[in-house]
Amino acid sequence: MASAVARFLLPSAVLFLAALHSAGAAALLEFKRALWDVDGRLSTWDAADDPCVWAGGGDVTAVTLHALNLHGALSAAVCALPRLAALDVSSNALTSRVPAGLAACAALEVLDLSVNALHGAVPPELCALRSLRRLVLSENMLFGEIPDGIGNLTALKELEIYSNNLTGRIPASVGALQRLRVIRAGLNDLSGPIPVELTECASLEVLGLAQNHLAGTLPRELSRLKNLNMLILWVNALSGEVPPELGSCTNLQTLALNDNAFTGGVPRVLGALPSLTQLYIYHNMLNGTIPPDFGNLQNAVEIDLSENNLVGDPPELGQLRNITRIDLSINNLIGTIPTAFQNLSSLEYLELFDNQLHGTIPPLLGANSNLTVLDLSDNQLTGSIPPHLCKYEKLMFLSLGSNRLRGNIPPGLKACRTLIQLRLGRNMLTGTFPVELSLLHNLSGLQIGQNRFSGPIPPEIGNFRSIEALNLSDNYFVGQIPASIGNLKELVMFNISSNQFSGPIPRELARCTKLERLDLSRNYLTGVIPEELGSLVNLEMLKLSDNSLHGTIPRSLGRLWRLIELQMGGNRLSGHIPVEFGRLSSLQMALIKSQS
């Protein structure tokens, strides 16, 4: 009897499965019809086949079509699949609205529509998807407000809506999402305060609201979020004090409050966060001293407190063995650079520029680390340039300008093959032109102006392969400008003003066709202005004033149609101003009067 029943039921079961496959196929084919399958990636979707074997179809509980170069519209026809739990059409080129009909996908747990060109409002109907765990709508062109009904998605663990054009306030109903772990809503146009109800999301691990127009103070109730490891609020209009209650978020790894309007001091308790790796509070209006407790952040990798009004000595951070980047620039710090900085073996970026630091640079700085960027400019530092800054040949950017440094450029720095920018201007450095630098084929910028360098410029200056900006102004260089200067094909800015150069302006300068700024003023140059300079059609500034040039002004200079500033006064020029100068429509300043 039992076997008879089984034989009876078997055909019915087969018919039921066949009907299910037929319905699934029809739903998917209708879904496909709204798409333009540019690369034919859905060619296996055929009405004659089992949809379970179609590309992206899976077992028809999931439709995954990530990065298949699909164009066209998103259709809700897929919701005819009764067991559909996941729909992923991310990283395509869909251009429709988000269909409200997706609310019919009652079993949906994952909806990922990110990285498309979807537009229109977020349909409030989606808030009926009570099983939804992941809602990812980021990197589209959605506008309007976040639906108030978002709080109905009580199963939601991840909400990603960043990089859209969403406006309005963050709805207070979001506080009902007790399972929520991730909110990423940055790069929108959201406004208003951060709702205190957000702090009721007890499971929250990531809160990202950067690059919006949020205002008001930071809720002190954030201390409730014991699982929070990332708080990303940069580029908003938040104000008030940084709440010391953040010290209760002991799992915090990244704290990014930069580019806001926070005031008051830096809370000491931040130095007690055991897991903190990244701390960004730069570009605010913080005052007071930097807490010495920051020296206890053993896991810190990056600390950036720049662009505030902080005072006092730089903190002792010599025990932070994992630190790769320290930026305390553009503050009002005094005192000396802590010697222990030279022991930070992981340090790659050290930026302390635009403060009031004095004393010497730690002598072994760079000897124990792979320094890549060092900027100590605009301070009151004295002594010499340390010899080991490029010991491991990682240094790419060195700026020590606007200090009171003396002595020569150390040999190790002259041989630093990785160097791209070297800025040593406005010091009291001495010696001859560092010809060894011409062998550094990555060097694109050399600024040694306003020092006490002397002697001639050797012809090897023409060996600079990548140099774009060369500033030798306000020194004691003598002799003629080498003709090899014409080899500098990438040169955009050349300034040798206020030296003691003599002789003619080399015609070879005309080969530097990318030149935009040329300043040869306040020297002892003689001869005529080369006609060839008229071929430098990218010039925006030309300064030849206060030399001993004679002859007429070349008519060819009238071809410098981009010229904004022209100074040739204080020479022995004769004749008339060329009529061609009337074509210089961009010219804003012209000083041409010669000596009597």
Can you give 147-214 as a three-state secondary structure string?
CHHHHHCCCCCEEECCCCEEEECCCHHHHHCCCCCEEECCCCEEEECCCHHHHHCCCCCEEECCCCEE
Q: State yes or no: pLDDT of 382 exceeds 80.
A: yes
Which structure tokens are listed for 155? 């199963």
Residue 12's pLDDT is what?
27
pLDDT band at 20 (very low <50, low <70, confident <90, very high): very low
pLDDT digits over 527-537, tens only? 999 999 999 99
- For 411, the 3-state DSSP assignment is helix
Average pLDDT across the chain, whole number: 93
Vertex 22, ends 17 and 23: CA angle to 5°?
100
56-70, 118-132, 394-408, 572-586: segment of lowest average pLDDT? 56-70
Residue 7's pLDDT is what?
25
Q: How far apart, in Å, do the first and last CA atoms of the chain sit?
A: 128
Which structure tokens are listed for 395? 């240094």
Residue 28's pLDDT is what?
86
7-11, 95-99, 122-126: segment of lowest average pLDDT? 7-11
- With CA atoms as reference, report the closest residue to 474 among 455, 513, 500: 500
Residue 6's pLDDT is what?
26
pLDDT digits over 182-207, tens only? 999 999 999 999 999 999 999 999 99
Q: In what order do the strands lie in the sheet with 35-37?
A: 35-37, 70-72, 93-94
Q: State yes or no: pLDDT of 416 exceeds 80.
A: yes
Contact between 319 and 295 (Cβ < 8 Å): yes
Beta bridge partners of residue 507, listed in sequence order: none
> Which ranges of 232-319 would DSSP assign to H, the alpha helix?
none
Percent of the chain with pLDDT over 70: 93
| Residue carrying structure tokens 């240094």 | 395
* Mean predicted confidence (pLDDT) in 225-249: 98
* Integer CA distances (angstroms), 179 to 107, 176, 309, 588, in order: 18, 9, 40, 63
134-138, 149-153, 435-439, 584-588: segment of lowest average pLDDT? 584-588
Measured between alpha carbons, how far is 112 from 357 in angstroms, rounded to an integer? 51
Residue 10's pLDDT is what?
25
43-52, 145-154, 248-257, 321-330: segment of lowest average pLDDT? 43-52
* Mean predicted confidence (pLDDT) in 451-462: 97
Which structure tokens are listed for 178? 């007790």
Q: State yes or no: pLDDT of 444 exceeds 90.
A: yes
Percent of the chain with pLDDT over 90: 87
Residue 596's pLDDT is what?
55
Measured between alpha carbons, how far is 398 from 498 in angstroms, rounded to an integer? 24
The full set of domains in the chain, from first to last, is 447-596 (3.80.10.10)
Measured between alpha carbons, how far is 172 from 330 in angstroms, rounded to an integer? 38
pLDDT digits over 511-558, tens only? 999 999 999 999 999 999 999 999 999 999 999 999 999 999 999 999
The DSSP letter of residue 8 is H
Residue 43's pLDDT is what?
85
